Homo-oligomer: A and B are copies of this chain.
Amino acid sequence: MTAITASDEIVLEQPCPIRDVLDRIGDQWSLLILEALAPGTRRFNALMRDIGDISKQMLSRTLKQLEQDGFITRTLYPEVPPRVEYTLTPLGRSFLEPMQQLVTWADTHHRTIVAARLRYQAAQA
């Protein structure tokens, strides 16, 4: 990809719908943020604390993308200091269901995966 893109350009659509969606939510942080918003509305710094090791820039950028794609809404209360709340939209909530399946799978098979890593490591030695 050598495409020259303006920093905030929105790529409207990719040929493959699955790629189009997975490219966005299949990154380092999106799923984690959506999961953090599952219990309800959260503020910026609260999300920072929830997730723990995300940088401000990535949280900001990823939230912007999720807003762009209609997963979440951003509400700014013009107070001082400012308050900004992020909430899942109906689309975002609807995504929770397949995601929950994924999380459940992860939880169920976690031990199997760790065991596989051990086996692999042993086989290399």
Contacts and interface: CB of A to CB of B under 8 A. Distances in A.
A105 B72 CA distance: 17
Contacts of A99: 102
User: Main SS of the interface on chain A?
Assistant: helix
A67 B120 contact: yes
A99 to B, nearest CB: 7
Interface residues of A, number: 49
A76 interface: no
Given A70-B112, A113-B70, A95 B105 contact: yes
A38 B22 CA distance: 16
A114 B24 CA distance: 12
Contact of A106 (B22, B107, B114): B22
